[in-house]
Amino acid sequence: MPPAICNWIHTHVEYRYETSNASTSAIETEKTCVGVCHDFVHLGLSLYRNLTIPARMIVG
Q: Within the chain, what is the greatest distance between any pair of CA atoms?
A: 31
pTM of the model: 0.87
Task: Please give the C-alpha separations between residue 58 and each of 28, 31, 38, 45, in angstroms, as whole numbers.
Answer: 22, 25, 11, 11
pLDDT at res. 1: 55
Kindly report, residue by residue over 6-59, the tens digit of the pLDDT: 899 999 999 999 999 999 999 999 999 999 999 999 999 999 999 999 999 998
Model confidence at 2: pLDDT above 80: no
